[in-house]
């Protein structure tokens, strides 16, 4: 690749010149971008025209990035710290884009592969989050792939952390020490969401005797993951209903103009939906496996209880024969085999192994 000035590049086998610009680090992290460079062909091999176009594009991109940052930052003001309210502003936009993609057939196959959320999924996800909260704080890092609107949540998180060391939280916690289930806000969360005070305000009312409680922070993150699940559930329900009834010969689809930052969030939302559903499926499978293990009757444990009782009435050489037989059985089906699953098919398998 030949490098020119003014953000120009020319690839070895390409006649045209390309514009390539590194996206500043602060924008990459703020908007959770996967690509750190913007590259596009200028569709010209004239160096003079290409230089002019490159400078024009560079300045336009920088101006628009600043506007996007200002627009995003304005959503993080104290009066807007309401995750439900924030997601409400996104719902119609995402729904419109989803419908537009479905109408163009560019999203239909992907949507078909994503199952609808059920009420049972809500219950399982709530249990999954409760389990995460009972572990180390690092366990919550798993939610990074499940929460689509992380920038908003993290700004929310900073102010909430300051609130937790204030005298307001101390008073609320004394009056309401019990913590509700994850599907309902705590008294502290309700107060924080209703009052709309900012970090500076809470800083002025710090409680010198406050004790940091990591469980409250873990619940705060998990609570917002749960709220977003509800958002995803309703969005997928609407999109699947639209796909079912859409008539390409009669129906018009209106959608908000594509905004690169919001559209990136929409695409990330789809990925987090897939991740969340996989987590729920794995959690359910794990619960089934745990239940089976809890209710199982292990072969070795049962045999040891049997042989201990048998030893009271038979000679030692008989016990030795029992041990030889069961040690062989362990090699075939394992010491932890649930004897409740011992059926005719398993008996035939063992018989054939013995006769070999």
| Span 273-292, pLDDT tens digits | 999 999 999 999 877 556 55
Question: Per-residue confidence at 1, pLDDT binned at 50, 70, 90?
Answer: very low
> Which residue has tokens 């560019």?
106
To the nearest 10°, report the CA torsion of 61, 62, 68, 69.
Answer: 150
**324-to-115, 317, 320, 321, 331 alpha-carbon distances in Å:** 51, 11, 6, 5, 11
Q: How far apart are CA 20 and CA 52, in angstroms?
A: 14
* Judgement on whether residues 100 and 67 belong to the same structural domain of the protein: no
* Judgement on whether residues 131 and 267 belong to the same structural domain of the protein: yes
Mean pLDDT, rounded, of the chain: 81
Percent pLDDT > 70 in the chain is: 87
Beta bridge partners of 20: 39
* Judgement on whether residues 24 and 117 belong to the same structural domain of the protein: no
- Pair type for strands 2-3 and 37-41: unpaired
Q: Which of 244, 270, 294 is the last residue of a domain?
A: 294
E strands, the chain, in order: 2-3, 8-10, 18-22, 37-41
Spatial contact of 165 and 212, defined as CB atoms under 8 Å apart: yes
* Judgement on whether residues 107 and 214 belong to the same structural domain of the protein: yes
- Pair type for strands 37-41 and 8-10: unpaired
Segment 304-347, tens digit of pLDDT: 888 888 888 888 888 888 888 888 888 888 888 877 777 788 88
Q: Which two tokens stand for residue 32?
A: 């959770």
- Measured on CA atoms in the order 336, 340, 346, 350, is the torsion positive or negative? positive
DSSP class per residue in 197-227: --HHHHHTTB-TT----HHHHHHHHHHHHHH
Q: Which of 272, 294, 316 is the last residue of a domain?
A: 294
* Judgement on whether residues 15 and 123 belong to the same structural domain of the protein: no
Is residue 158 pLDDT above 70, yes or no?
yes
Q: 214: alpha, beta or left, given left = phi > 0 and alpha = psi -120 to 50?
A: alpha
* Judgement on whether residues 114 and 30 belong to the same structural domain of the protein: no
305 burial type by CB count under 10 A (0-12 exposed, 13-18 middle, 19+ buried): exposed
- Measured on CA atoms in the order 96, 101, 104, 109, is the torsion positive or negative? negative
Q: Which of 18, 39, 74 is the last residue of a domain?
A: 74
Count of other CB atoms within 10 angstroms of residue 152:
21
Question: Per-residue confidence at 239, pLDDT binned at 50, 70, 90?
Answer: very high
Q: What is the mean pLDDT of residues 246-256?
A: 83
* Judgement on whether residues 152 and 86 belong to the same structural domain of the protein: yes
Is residue 25 pLDDT above 80, yes or no?
no
* Judgement on whether residues 233 and 179 belong to the same structural domain of the protein: yes
Domain of 9 in residue numbering reads as 2-74
* Judgement on whether residues 245 and 196 belong to the same structural domain of the protein: yes
- Measured on CA atoms in the order 79, 82, 85, 91, is the torsion positive or negative? positive
* Judgement on whether residues 303 and 348 belong to the same structural domain of the protein: yes
| Closest listed residue to residue 221, CA positions, set 316, 142, 293 | 142
How many structural domains is the chain composed of?
3
Of these ranges, 33-42, 49-58, 210-219, 267-276, the one predicted with the greatest mean pLDDT is 267-276
Q: How far apart are CA 100 and CA 41, in angstroms?
A: 27
> Which residue has tokens 């025209």?
49
Is residue 4 pLDDT above 50, yes or no?
no
Beta bridge partners of 21: 38
Q: What is the pTM of this model?
A: 0.63
Question: Per-residue confidence at 5, pLDDT binned at 50, 70, 90?
Answer: very low
* Judgement on whether residues 176 and 270 belong to the same structural domain of the protein: yes
* Judgement on whether residues 213 and 316 belong to the same structural domain of the protein: no
Reduced to 3 states, what is the DSSP secondary structure of residue 268?
A: helix
């Amino acid at each position: 690749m030949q490098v020119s000035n003014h953000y120009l590049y020319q690839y070895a086998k390409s006649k045209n010149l390309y514009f390539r610009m590194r996206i500043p680090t602060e924008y990459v992290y703020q908007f959770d971008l996967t690509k750190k460079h913007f590259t596009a062909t200028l569709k010209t091999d004239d160096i003079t025209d290409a230089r002019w176009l490159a400078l024009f594009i560079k300045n336009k991109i920088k101006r628009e990035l600043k506007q996007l940052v200002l627009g995003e930052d304005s959503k993080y003001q104290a009066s807007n710290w309401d995750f439900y309210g924030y997601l409400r502003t996104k719902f119609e936009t995402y729904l419109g884009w989803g419908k537009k993609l479905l109408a163009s057939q560019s999203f239909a196959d992907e949507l078909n592969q994503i199952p609808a959320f059920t009420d049972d999924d809500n219950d399982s996800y709530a249990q999954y989050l409760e389990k995460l909260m009972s572990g180390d704080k690092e366990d919550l890092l798993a939610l990074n792939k499940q929460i689509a609107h992380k920038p908003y949540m993290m700004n929310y998180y900073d102010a909430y952390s300051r609130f937790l060391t204030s005298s307001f939280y101390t008073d609320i916690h004394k009056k309401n020490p019990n913590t509700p289930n994850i599907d309902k806000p705590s008294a502290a969360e309700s107060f924080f969401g209703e009052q709309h005070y900012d970090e500076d305000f809470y800083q002025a009312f710090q409680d010198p005797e406050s004790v940091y409680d990591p469980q409250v922070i873990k619940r705060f993150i998990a609570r917002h993951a749960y709220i977003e699940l509800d958002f995803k559930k309703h969005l997928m329900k609407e999109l699947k209903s639209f796909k079912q009834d859409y008539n390409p010969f009669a129906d018009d689809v209106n959608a908000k103009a594509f905004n690169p930052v919001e559209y990136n969030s929409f695409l990330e939302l789809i990925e987090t939906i897939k991740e969340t559903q996989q987590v729920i499926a794995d959690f359910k499978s794990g619960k089934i496996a745990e239940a089976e293990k809890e209710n199982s009757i292990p072969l070795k444990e049962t045999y040891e209880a049997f042989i201990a009782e048998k030893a009271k009435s038979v000679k030692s050489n008989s016990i030795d024969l029992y041990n030889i037989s069961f040690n062989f059985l362990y090699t075939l089906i394992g010491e932890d085999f649930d004897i409740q699953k011992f059926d005719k098919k398993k008996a035939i398998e063992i018989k054939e192994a013995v006769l070999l």
